[in-house]
Amino acid sequence: MKAIIISGSRNPAGQTAQAAQAVEAGLTRQSVECETIYLPVHQIERCRQCDDNGWGLCRREGACIIEDDFAGIVDQLRAADVAVFANPVYYGDLSESLRAFTDRLRRICTQPAGRVGIEKKPAIGVCVAGGGGGGAPECCASLTKVLRTCGFDIVDMIPVRRQNLAAKLPQLDMTGQWLADKPTSD
């Protein structure tokens, strides 16, 4: 079994990374092979809103016209059995890198061809408010909305704040273990 962890943070030693690594520890204990993608270090343009009407190749073919790192990461996502989205809370919402990625992902998922390997894939989200600590629940709502539009089977969505990160690490670890054991919402 394979898991992909897609992080909106660029810091492999930051709070979002600590939360993601706790999920990874639970997955790894169950012999799940994990791969982490730090989106900010990749080249991912924002959607160009192609064509006069704003619908582009993505709607017709389920693929994006932009030649950057997006397609390769989507291939890795498709190849994984479960997905973990880890996001640092910015302004009570998604980080810019995760927003750019999910904005384009939901576009290609408009088309059945684009949803291949994504539809019904078990996914969890973790949103870490590492500053004042506010905005994680609102960020979870944003992440839930976009992942649902893409077609994921969202099996958990976990808000974390700086003040409860240490307390939540064991829960995140157990969630990873659970995700390996019982990944569907059935």
Ligand X SMILES: Cc1cc2nc3c(=O)[nH]c(=O)nc-3n(C[C@H](O)[C@H](O)[C@H](O)COP(=O)(O)O)c2cc1C
Which residues contact ligand X (rule: CB under 6 A)? 9, 11, 14-17, 88-92, 128-135
Give 4's contacts (C-beta < 8 A, 6+ positions apart): 34, 35, 36, 37, 76, 77, 79, 80, 82, 83, 84
The two three-digit tokens of residue 18, written as one number: 């600590």
Give 75's contacts (C-beta < 8 A, 6+ positions apart): none
Nearer to ligand X by Cβ, of 132 and 170: the residue is 132
Smallest gap, in angstroms, from Cβ of residue 140 to ligand X? 13
Smallest gap, in angstroms, from Cβ of residue 8 to ligand X? 8
Nearer to ligand X by Cβ, of 68 and 93: the residue is 93
Smallest gap, in angstroms, from Cβ of residue 133 to ligand X? 5
Dihedral angle at the C-alpha atoms of 99, 126, 180, 1, nearest 10 degrees?
30
Smallest gap, in angstroms, from Cβ of residue 24 to ligand X? 15
Nearer to ligand X by Cβ, of 13 and 53: the residue is 13
Nearer to ligand X by Cβ, of 90 and 150: the residue is 90
Residue 122: helix, strand or coil by DSSP? strand
